[in-house]
């Protein structure tokens, strides 16, 4: 019997993802184009890069946030502050998964008060990771607005949470897994869908 998955990403560690079967739904080029589009959307929605702060949700959200900041620098010629927001201790599944490793939270020196914070993650699934991120953010300051950018939205929401910027809407069955692999973490850029039989 498959244990329930409470994570949004539904991604495994690099070693198991490397051996995983399935089909590639986003190539390196697709990921690059999706991130460039998201960067343009962020600038357009914010009417520039003023007061923006990007926070990546570990693990792969951090790498995506760093890439988006580089793209924003190309588009707006502005250095947007970037950091990471670990949500481990704010998750609602700690009882069922108590061995979860605690990651790093790194807030830029500019802080988040009265800023437009863009949370960045790889996959939006149930919405529970984003809910945990909002709780964590509330303990760190009071942003003027919080937006969400994700590489993949796979559906199956359990909470009323919606992404503002989506690289790819990817309808999936609940039994399937979405594996995001990024060069910074895994040595390759791709998104795969893997059947959930195992």
* pLDDT at residue 13 tops 60: no
SS3 13: coil
* pLDDT at residue 20 tops 60: no
CA distances from 79 to 73, 82, 137, 165, 174 (A): 6, 9, 22, 20, 39
pLDDT-wise least confident of 6-15, 93-102, 154-163: 6-15
Domains of the chain: 28-174 (3.40.50.2020)
Q: How confident is the model at residue 7 (pLDDT cuts 50, 70, 90)?
A: very low
Q: Helices in the chain by DSSP H: which ranges?
A: 14-19, 28-46, 60-76, 128-138, 183-186
Rounded to an integer, what distance in angstroms lies between the CA atom of residue 36 and that of residue 32?
A: 6
Q: Which of 1, 3, 15, 66 is nearest to 179 (CA)?
A: 15
Over the stretch 78-133, which tens digit does the pLDDT of each residue have? 999 999 999 999 988 766 666 667 788 999 999 999 999 999 999 999 999 999 99
pLDDT computed for residue 21 by the predictor: 66
Rounded to an integer, what distance in angstroms lies between the CA atom of residue 112 and that of residue 185?
A: 27
Rounded to an integer, what distance in angstroms lies between the CA atom of residue 53 and that of residue 68?
A: 11
Rounded to an integer, what distance in angstroms lies between the CA atom of residue 37 and that of residue 44?
A: 11
* pLDDT at residue 19 tops 70: no
Over the stretch 167-185, which tens digit does the pLDDT of each residue have? 999 999 999 999 999 999 9
pTM: 0.86
Over the stretch 54-69, which tens digit does the pLDDT of each residue have? 999 999 999 999 999 9
CA distances from 136 to 68, 73, 76, 77, 162 (A): 22, 27, 29, 30, 18
């Amino acid at each position: 019997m498959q244990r329930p998955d409470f994570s949004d990403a539904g991604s495994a560690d690099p070693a198991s993802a490397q051996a995983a079967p399935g089909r590639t739904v986003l190539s390196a080029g697709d990921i690059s184009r999706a991130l460039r589009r998201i960067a343009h959307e962020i600038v357009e929605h914010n009417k520039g890069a003023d007061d923006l702060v990007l926070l990546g949700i570990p693990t792969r959200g951090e790498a995506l946030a760093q890439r988006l900041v580089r793209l924003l620098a190309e588009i707006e010629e502005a250095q947007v502050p970037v950091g990471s927001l670990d949500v481990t201790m704010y998750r609602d599944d700690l009882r069922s998964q108590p061995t979860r490793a605690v990651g790093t939270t790194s807030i830029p020196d500019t802080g988040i008060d009265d800023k437009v914070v863009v949370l960045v993650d790889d996959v939006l699934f149930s919405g529970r990771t984003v809910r945990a991120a909002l709780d964590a953010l509330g303990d760190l300051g009071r942003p003027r607005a919080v937006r969400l950018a994700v590489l993949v939205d796979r559906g199956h929401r359990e909470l009323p949470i919606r992404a503002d910027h989506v690289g790819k809407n990817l309808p999936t069955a609940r039994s399937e897994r979405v594996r995001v692999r990024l060069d910074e973490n895994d040595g390759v850029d791709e998104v795969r869908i893997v059947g959930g039989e195992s």
